[in-house]
A and B are shown apart, each in its own frame.
Chain A
Amino acid sequence: MSPLLAIAAALLVGAGLILLAGVSPLGAYSALFSEALTNYFGFGNTLTKMAPLLLTSLGVLLALKAGQFNIGGEGQIYMGGVGSALVGLYVQGLPALVHVPLALLGGFLFGAIWGMVPGYLKAYRGVNEVITTLLLNYIAQNLVSYAVSHPMKEPGAPTPFSPMIAPSARLPVILPQTQVHAGIVLGLAATVILWIVFARSPVGYQIETVGQNPTAARYAGISVERTILLVMALAGGLAGLAGAGEVMGLKYRLFENFSPGYGFDAIAIAFLSRGNLAGIALISLFFGALRSGANVMQRSAGVPVTVVYAIQGLTVLFIAIGLVLERRVGEKG
């Protein structure tokens, strides 16, 4: 129940902010959620935004299970975008059946490398992964900006973006007349796979042991270093797939600054889920709805979109407090 309470508390503070803007919170929220959840096109938009959030937050969660704070989702999304765009642009003449998986693999690998570097540095050199993943975000974002301004720039483009990727490398739209692409299926499949890994497999057990007690893991013959490296690479790869989805399913090009902060939302989502994989899908849906409804709320109720970012941040704050309250109750009872 605690995540729901945290969300409720954040929505309540958000209501206060909306009041400050001189608007009725009830009206604003009903505009936001009725658009995002009950309108066909609005819900489509919610799912479109949910896809990258889900994939990236799975990456954050996976790392978290091994005790690693992967704050680099944003950078990994950007690198994933590059990897898939490279395959989509410069490999031509393949059937979609081969080209799509190949481009996804490109995205996965680029993201994985971006996660593996801080993973390696943490595991073998003892460098704090929080700061390295953070710094790599800024580097990745600028690398993409450089790529689409120079080597990958569409000739004569008014703003920095790449040419269109080959039609054979595009993800299919799965809901007619919306932008919902197969990335959401990928995200749900990844959720199920991770669920199986953690519920059933020795690998999942190994990861959780490293996260909970590295010393015990070492005694049990688990290589803590290799586990951290693997987990960070996979985390980066999942975020990379999110970036690939944006390029292959939504924009069909690589754009400068194409992620509106999905990587940072993903951190919030992963913490909110508290390790629960069904929860992570639901919370991604909620955050997707916030993002998709926010614009409508701004247009129809005149509340700045940024109130949604405040609500997201506060949700994390309240969950942090909620976790402790729960622990307190547990200790006493």
Chain B
Amino acid sequence: MNITTFLTDYLSASLRLSIPLAFAALGGLWSERSGVLNIGLEGMLLTGAFVSAAATFYAGGNVWVGVLLALVAGALAGLLHAFLCVTLRVDQLVSGLAINLSVAGLTAFMSRLVFTSDTTQKLSGIRAIAIPGFSQIPILGPLLFEQDLLVYLLLLLVPVSSYILFQTSLGLTVRAVGEYPRAADTAGIRVFRVRYACAIISGMLAALGGAYLVLAHVRFFTEDISAGKGFIALAALIFGRWHPVSTVLACLLFGASEALQLRIQAFGLNIPYQFLVMLPYAIALLAMVGLAGKSAPPAALGVPYQQESQSDGL
């Protein structure tokens, strides 16, 4: 294998593995920027993975039905999280954990009903679209210009999220709600409404990550297919200091370490595979430790807000 093919292959695997993380991390970013902690990313990602698989299966292989319904299910999961955290003021960690545990159980159960032994064949999957001309560029071409729509969407979402968050009044509103909800409230911003919207966006993005994982990457659903990706996304979010660009770069780092793990296994080097499987988790852990104290979360993160007048509601 020559170095160019290896590099192309390795880099595209890294990208492929980091896409679900990046969607989930971006989702977490929106929610957490508005002050709603989202430990439930794992469950939301798993929701998207299951619903997209089941919907695609029932729609006779139409992946876009799968993607669409994954978005709907993700939005519902986000809505539930918002209802628990914002309206009911449940501890945000507990709400996220409850979502993770429930989704893990529900999807494991439902997948037994949907995918019986004779329906476990591979799902049709999302096909890559090569952009003419650009996809011929060596290494970078196949990497950036021969991907599926979800990857292009993600590549678009990163600058768009940065722009909205840091250059527009809408972004200022979201950040104000995450930093000083009381002040935002006084200024006439509907704190609850912003947090609801952000949590719902969060669920939708995480669910897209799950849909990508199932439809574009592995093409089947199994119990616990998310395997901690939602948690690594959270680490990436902290590592990336709640900024879309650096957060997605952190996801790429985790994706690259996972791809490296798979490559080393394939080469049959004499490293026990367990250490390689551990690698992304260990890197995430070290990243958390290395950044301790330097990474400032939004000031009101995890703190339920009590509106001046409860009757105001949304």
Chain A contacts to B: CB under 8 angstroms: 17, 20-21, 69, 71, 121, 125-128, 130-132, 134-136, 138-139, 142-143, 145-146, 149-150, 264, 267-268, 271, 304, 306-314, 316-317, 319-321, 323-324
Contact B235 A310, beta carbon cutoff 8 Å: no
- Contact partner, A138, options B99, B100, B109, B228, Cβ 8 Å: B228
A69 to B235, CA, bound (A): 16
Of A130, A306, A316, which one neighbours B109 at CB under 8 angstroms? A306
Q: Are A324 and B285 neighbours in the complex by a CB distance under 8 Å?
A: no
Given the known interface contacts A135-B281, A306-B112, A306-B223, the answer about A321 and B292 at a Cβ–Cβ threshold of 8 Å is: no
Given the complex, which residues of A lie within 8 Å of B234, measured CB to CB? 131
CB contacts (< 8 Å) of A311 on chain B: these are 105
Task: Check A310–B274 contact: CB distance below 8 A.
Answer: no
Complex Cα spacing A120 to B36, Å: 26
Residues of chain A lying within 8 A (CB to CB) of residue B228: 134-135, 138
Identify 13 new A-B residue pairs, CB closer than 8 A, beyond the known A135-B288, A139-B281, A317-B99: A125-B292, A134-B231, A138-B277, A143-B274, A267-B101, A306-B108, A306-B112, A309-B101, A313-B103, A313-B106, A316-B94, A317-B98, A321-B90
Which of chain B's residues has its CB closest to A71's CB? B97
> Which residue of B is nearest A122, CB measured?
B292
Chain B residues within 8 Å of A310, by CB: 102, 105-106, 108-109
Say how far A229's CB is from chain B's closest CB, in angstroms: 15
B275 touches A (CB below 8 Å): yes
**CA A149 – CA B275 in complex, angstroms?**
12
Can you give 10 contacting A-B residue pairs, CB < 8 Å? Answer: A121-B289, A132-B289, A135-B284, A142-B275, A149-B272, A271-B94, A309-B108, A312-B101, A313-B98, A314-B106
What number of residue pairs across chains A and B have CB atoms under 8 A from each other?
131
A149 vs B273: C-alpha distance when bound (angstroms): 10
Are A126 and B293 within 8 A (Cβ)?
A: yes
Assuming the A-B contacts A135-B281, A139-B282, A143-B274, are A69 and B93 also in contact, with contact meaning beta carbons closer than 8 angstroms in the complex?
A: yes
Whether B89 lies near A324 (C-beta < 8 A) is yes
Q: Is the CB of A320 within 8 A of B274?
A: no
Among the listed B104, B112, B235, B274, which residue makes an inter-chain contact with A135, where contact means beta carbons less than 8 Å apart? B235
Question: For A21, what are the chain B residues with a Cβ–Cβ distance below 8 Å?
Answer: 112-113
Chain A neighbourhood of B89, CB < 8 A? 324
A323 touches B90 (CB 8 A): yes
A17 touches B95 (CB 8 A): no
Partner of B285, one of A136, A142, A319: A136
CB-based contact B231/A135 at 8 Å: yes
With A131-B231, A310-B102, A324-B89 as given contacts, are A146 and B274 in contact (CB-CB < 8 Å)?
yes
- Give min CB distance, B52 to chain A, whole Å: 19
- Could you tell me the distance between the alpha carbons of A317 and B98 in the complex, rounded to whole angstroms? 5
Structural contact, B105 and A324, CB atoms closer than 8 A: no
